[in-house]
Amino acid sequence: MIGSMARDPVLRNALSLGVATCVYAVSFGVLSVTAGFSVSQTCVLSLVTFTGASQLTFVSVIGAGGGVAGALPPALLLAGRNAIYALSLKQVVSGSWLRRAVRAQAVIDETTAMAHAQPTLTAKRRAFDVTAVCMYVAWNSGTLAGALAGQALGDPREYGLDAVFPAIFLALIAPQLRRPGAPRAAVAGAIIALALVPLAPAGVPILASVLGAAPTLLASRRRTGRSR
């Protein structure tokens, strides 16, 4: 079993994302309980919200005394990028309404990046589902562990785990940069996001980075328009 797992790159990649995610989930569990949420509330946050950056921001702001009114807007702005991801996954998340409702819950950074890194639609769907299961199990088991008894593990940054996510996203985005217009879109998105960090509320910089794709989208529309 271990052998076949090692030979399946998608599963292997999803599992390594899962390990890093699980440790982060433990620290979310600790943070949430410290901020005043019960163990069951902390678990519901992970089971239903299931988007790490939003959850961490939400409980951090409440823990710092910012109140629900202060915590909800940045948490939902951070969750907004999942709507953009869902649009890009049009074919991956298609199917019956029940399937779409279930897959919608799994539309997050990791599943999106893993799906788009695959060459065919079948491979994209499989990578999305495999990553979704790994992430859901990792995030929720880690949350429960952290909420019950997580203090011992310490800060995930000590293990350098905060550096794992950008590194993996870079590995996943790299093959997509061969598409025409993609490098330009990537640079534009990076500049927009970084420029807005000191100016805009949390979540807005990454949402706005989607505008980096605008010139490429308009150009591709004009190209196909001319060929008709």
Partner 1 sequence: MTWWPVLAVSGGAYGLKLLGVVLAGRLDPDLAERWSLETIVVPVLAGLILVQTLTTADRYVIDARTPALLVAAVLVWRQAPFVIIAIAAAGTAAILRLIA
Decide: is 75 part of the binding site for partner 1 (CB under 8 A): yes
* Cβ–Cβ under 8 Å, residues 161 and 23: yes
- Give the number of residues in contact with partner 1, rule: CB under 8 A: 97
Distance CA 59, CA 34 (A): 9
211 binds partner 1 per the rule CB under 8 A: yes
Quote the crossing angle between the two packed helices 121-149 and 97-105, to the nearest 10°: 50
Whole-number minimum distance, CB 133 to partner 1, in Å? 17
Single out the segment in contact with partner 1 by CB under 8 A; choices: 125-133, 134-142, 145-153, 212-220. Answer: 212-220
Of these, 24, 28, 37, 136, which contacts partner 1 (CB under 8 A)? 37
Task: Supply the minimum distance, in Å, between the C-beta of residue 163 and partner 1.
Answer: 4
Q: Which of residues 159-188 bind partner 1 (CB under 8 A)?
A: 159-174, 176-177, 179, 181-182, 185-188
List of residues 6+ apart from 112 with CB closer than 8 A:
85, 88, 89, 128
The sign one gets for the Cα dihedral 107, 112, 116, 120 is negative
CA torsion angle 3 6 7 11 (round to 10): 130
Out of 66, 80, 141, 153, the only residue in the binding site for partner 1 (CB under 8 A) is 80
One of 11, 25, 26, 89 touching partner 1 (CB under 8 A)? 89
